[in-house]
Amino acid sequence: MKTELNFDLYNNRRTKMLVIVLAMILLLASRITFAQTALTSAEASFRYIASTLQSFRTTGRLVNNPGIDGSDLEAFLSFLETYYEAFSSGFNRNSAMCQFYMDPENSRMTIQDKADLSFSFLPDLEVRIARYIDVDAEFQDTIEFEFGRILLDNINRQKQSSTSNQRLPASEFDEAGVISFIDSVCT
């Protein structure tokens, strides 16, 4: 009887530990899934903003209009410009990264060394990702507050199919990827 009681206690502790471990795994998995979903949204928002601004600069009109009327067009474009700058402040043409890369004083360096040093001006990957997720959340909140939920829903649908040659540095790059990314944003 004593061994049966000990066996029951052992199984009860083991079951509790198993439940705790499973709960922790599920919590971690949900956080990873949320972070990946949020990053995917941020990347799509950046592509949408970049492609919308580029097409407006090229054509003078809002291609794939999400529902903006004439009176709101200027404010909408201003918000897009603001959030384009917020997303790209660390890697746009005016950034320290591009200034270093384009500096004629650094022309004696190999392209790889110059690109690696330039890329090192960006914050660590985790910090960049957290920032892009925060900017995307703020962008979506601002659009909803200023223009309404219907417009935000239209943008969220359109951003899934938006294409742009610009992208966020939200992943690890190999040597060729670093050079390609820096060349695309700095030149």
Question: For residue range 102-117, what is the model confidence (pLDDT) as tens digits?
Answer: 999 998 999 999 999 9
Look at residue 76 and tell me whether its pLDDT is greater than 50. yes
Give the phi and the psi of residue 110 in degrees, each rounded to 5: -70, 155
Identify the residue with better confidence: 5 or 131: 131
**Would you state the pLDDT for residue 78?**
96
What pLDDT band is residue 52 in, cutting at 50, 70 and 90?
A: very high
- Tell me the C-alpha distance between 88 and 175, whole Å: 21
Nearest CA to 171 out of 122, 111, 135 is that of: 122
Buried b (16+ CB within 10 A) or exposed e, 156-175: bebbeebeeebebbbeeeee
- Tell me the C-alpha distance between 36 and 29, whole Å: 11
DSSP 98-155: HHHHH-GGGTTS-HHHHHHHHHTTSPPHHHHHHHHHHHHHHHHHHHHHHH-HHHHHHH
- Tell me the C-alpha distance between 175 and 102, whole Å: 18
Rounded to two decimals, the pTM is 0.78
What tokens does 168 get?
Answer: 């966020």
**Would you state the pLDDT for residue 18?**
55
